[in-house]
Amino acid sequence: MYLATIASVIRTKNSGPFEITMDVMFRDESTYQRVVDANVLTRGAISSLYDAQGDDILTCMWWEPALAFKATIKRTAPSGSFGDDDVHGSGAHVPLMYLQVPE
């Protein structure tokens, strides 16, 4: 099952001109806990999905009060600079949508 099937929100956006932040939110505690227990949203998963290595991953955490996961990575190019293909960082969420979550 894809993460997009069970998450209520999957979004990315700029976190300043040099970073992109990702939010994955869930409708209820049982769905949140299911994904936590599946251990599919990890630093390794973010590294693989976004080709982000070591210090490029600034934050990778679960936030239980919001039933959410958050990660922040360094951008490959500053927002709006030559070579940047997503000025707002709003299209970077797509790889997360296709992350497989065991049923």
* 25, part of any domain: yes
Q: 25: which 2 tokens?
A: 């939110």
Report pLDDT digits (tens) over 36-95: 999 999 999 999 999 999 899 999 999 999 999 999 999 999 999 998 889 999 999 999
DSSP H or E run through 61? strand 57-63
CA–CA separation, 101 vs 15, rounded Å?
A: 27
| Partners of 2 in beta bridges | 100
Task: Kindly tell me if the per-residue pLDDT of 5 is higher than 90.
Answer: yes
What per-residue confidence (pLDDT) applies to 103?
86
What per-residue confidence (pLDDT) applies to 9?
98
- What is the domain count for the chain? 1
CATH number at residue 46: 3.30.70
Instruction: Provide the sign of the torsion angle of the four alpha carbons 25, 69, 23, 93, taken in this order.
Output: negative
**Residues spanned by the domain of 74:** 3-78
* 53, part of any domain: yes
The model's pTM? 0.93
